[in-house]
Structure 1
Amino acid sequence: MSYIILIIGFALLIKGADIFVEGASNIAKKLGIPSIIVGLTIVSLGTSAPELAVSLIASFEGNNGITMGNVLGSNIFNTLMVLGLTAIVMPIIIKKNTIIKDYIINIIVTILLLILSFGGKLLFNRNAELNRLSGFILIGICIIYIIYLIKTAKNQSEDSEDNTKVNILVSTFKIILGIIGIIIGGNLVVNSASNIAYSFGLSDKLVGLTIVAMGTSLPELVTSMIAALKGENDIAIGNVLGSNIFNILLILGVSSSINPIIIAPSLLVDILFLIIISLILGVFLFRGNKEKLRLGKIEGLTLVVLYIGYMAYIIFRN
């Protein structure tokens, strides 16, 4: 029965996120918000909503292994599988100046997570954790990042006016309906995944790193692949980087401010792996002095193979 509930939960999460993104994007375009902001904020936040729902519910219930594992697993899945599969289906070609700042912010935020999580353990031999102070720091940086995106958009010269007819009332209803689906689905996923983990003697962090992380990252995968097929490559890769940034800043920030997250020592390897693959992605994207960046089929296949190897490692480890 837990498996059926898990599938239903994932379905509600994905459909809820899809409805939420559609409603929010329509309102944003109607209000004249530039498309880059829609992609980096509304789409990224919308596709990160399942992770947020799962992590918050897990945090309230004290399942911190799922909370931290979910975010790390989702970011690793986004970086390797979402971008990898997207590049295999349709090579990603974008302008260098479109994404370089967000890529650098992604790296900095991931390194900051490493410092906040394991800095106390390395320096003072304390337990590795994200305490409430760390949560407030992450939330504060998240607010600064959103302000930065808004100011960047204001300085752009693109015409963001959209004459498409949008029913504000219907779009608002979609946002509310999407949020309800995300919350209910998140609750079902956490409860059923925990039951499955206990029945097989698996740890919460393993379930968070694998089943839950993959399931809650499906919106990013679908969004990026569809965007690439439609030629919206900036949205395809911007969605991944934006989601990764919000996963760390918003999700872990809010979750740890509610309930401090005790971090298993083994997760140090996962954080370091996330940093390494982010650097590898940078090598793939920024090699050479080209104005346009390209992530082709070979690079995509390499990322997918790295993820398969990582999955084999954490299953064997746990």
Structure 2
Amino acid sequence: MTYLFLVIGFLLLIKGADLFVKGASHIATALRVSPLLIGLTIVAFGTSSPEATVSIVAALEGTAGVAVGNVVGSNIFNITFVIGLTALIAPLRVESETIRKEIPFTLLAGIALLIVISDQALYALNESVISRSDGLILLLFFAVFLYYIFEVARKNRTTAAAETQESSSSWTKNILLTLGGLAAIIFGGDLVVNSATDIAVTFGMSETLVGLTIVAVGTSLPELITSITAAIKKESEIAVGNIVGSNIFNIFFVLGTASVVAPLAVDASMFIDVIIMLTLTIVLLIFSRTKFQVGRTEGLILAGAYIVYMVYIILRN
């Protein structure tokens, strides 16, 4: 029964994120908000909302290993498997702005996370904790990132969105879609955390391992589906930017909010996972600079790196 609840939870997260993005995007379009701003904020929030919900629920329920492992595992999955698989379908064009600003910002997010989980090394404490003050610092970085994307959107404002007129029935439908999607995300997130924790106890797995594997892959399915769809539609140039934005969102907003809700104790092994995440981000930056694209060979390397990482963390446990 636990496995059934886990599957139902993931289905609710995926469908909820899809409904939320559709409803919120239509509302934003009707309000004549720049399409670029919609992509950078609403879509990024929508695809990352499963991670946010799972980590915040996990923090509230005292399963910090799931909360932290979910974010780090999702980011590694996004950089390696999602981008790798998408590049195998169609080479990914990478915008120069993404190379110069957004990927370095992802590196900054990873470095900030590495610092806040280094209590044992820096202060010789018994355990590392992402405290409420650490969470506030992460949220401050997130505010800086939001300011950046609003500036980008302002400079690239278009009038395309100004041409649609929404009827009152469309407004009602879009509001219901948005609220229904949000409700599905919250309920699904609760099911995923409870089911994954039960599975961890049954098999003697650590909360951190469950967060890094089952939960991380499950909550990253919206990004995977979005990126594959973009590749099939020959719009794969947006995939890297979307994944990079999602990773920034996961660290600064998701972990920031979760740790403000409740301080998060961090497993000592997570230090290595964060260093792996940083290393893979640097690899992505190097790949992106070659002809401003991630090709099929590079995609194969990234996808293979995720398989190697999965074997490593399962053997480590």
Inter-partner Cα distance in structure 1 for 2:237 and 2:256: 27
Paired position in structure 1 for 2:57: 57
Tell me the equivalent position of 2:293.
294
Structure 1 residues 111-154: Cα deviation after superposition (integer angstroms, max 9, x where no partner): 11101111x32221122111000001111211221122112211
Matches within 5 A, 1:1-318: 1-118=1-118, 120-126=119-125, 127-156=127-156, 158-166=158-166, 167-287=170-290, 293-318=292-317
Q: How far 1:183 moved relative to its partner?
A: 0.6
What is the one-letter code of the residue matched to 1:262? A
Q: Which runs of 5 or more structure 2 residues have no equivalent in the other structure?
A: none
- The letter for the 2-side match of 1:200 is F
- How far apart are 1:53 and its partner, in Å? 0.8
Give a deviation string over 1:27-79, Cα, whole Å, max 9, x none: 12222222222222111110000011111111000000000000000000010
Deviates more, 1:235-244 or 1:171-180: 235-244
Amino acid at match of 1:217: S
Q: Identity of counterpart residues, as a percentage? A: 44
Tell me the TM-score normalised to structure 1 length: 0.95
Q: SS in structure 2 opposite 1:262?
A: strand
CA contact (8 A) 1:41 1:242 kept: no
CA distance in 1, matches of 2:61, 2:132: 16
Amino acid aligned to 1:171: N
Asked if the contact 2:120–2:128 (Cα under 8 Å) also holds between the matched residues in 1, the reply is: yes
Provide the secondary structure at the position in 2 that maps to 1:202.
coil
Residue 158 of structure 1: how far off its partner (Å)? 3.8
* TM-fit CA distance, 1:165: 4.7
Secondary structure at the residue paired with 2:93? Answer: strand
- d(CA) in 1 for partners of 2:147 and 2:173? 28
**DSSP-derived class of the 1:161 partner:** helix
The separation in 2 between residues aligned to 1:160 and 1:123, in whole angstroms, is: 52
Q: CA RMSD in A?
A: 1.4
C-alpha distance 234-297 of structure 1, shift in aligned 2 (>3 A): closer
* More displaced 10-residue stretch of structure 1: 155-164 or 193-202: 155-164
Q: Which moved more, 1:72-81 or 1:87-96?
A: 87-96
Residues 57 and 146 of structure 1, relative CA distance in 2, 3 Å threshold: same
Q: Does the CA contact (< 8 Å) of 1:39 and 1:235 recur in 2?
A: no
Aligned to 2:161, the other structure's residue is in SS state coil
CA distance in 1, matches of 2:274, 2:217: 17
> 1:308–1:218: structure 2 CA closer, same or farther, 3 Å change rule?
same
Code of the aligned partner of 1:89: I
| Length-normalised TM-score, structure 2 | 0.95
What is the CA distance between 1:160 and its match in structure 2? 4.0
* Shift in alpha-carbon separation, 1:193–1:295, aligned structure 2, 3 A: same
Q: Secondary structure at the match of 1:129?
A: strand
Q: Secondary structure at the match of 2:94?
A: strand
SS at match of 2:268: coil
Partner letter of residue 37 of structure 2? I
Query: CA shift at 1:99, angstroms?
Result: 4.9
Corresponding letter in the other structure for 1:179 = L
CA distance in 1, matches of 2:23, 2:123: 48
Task: Decide whether the 8 Å contact of 1:29 with 1:160 is kept in 2.
Answer: no
C-alpha distance in 1, partners of 2:157/2:60? 44
The 1:282/1:201 distance shift into structure 2, 3 A limit, reads same
The more displaced of 246-255 and 164-173 is: 164-173
The residue type equivalent to 1:152 in the other structure is V
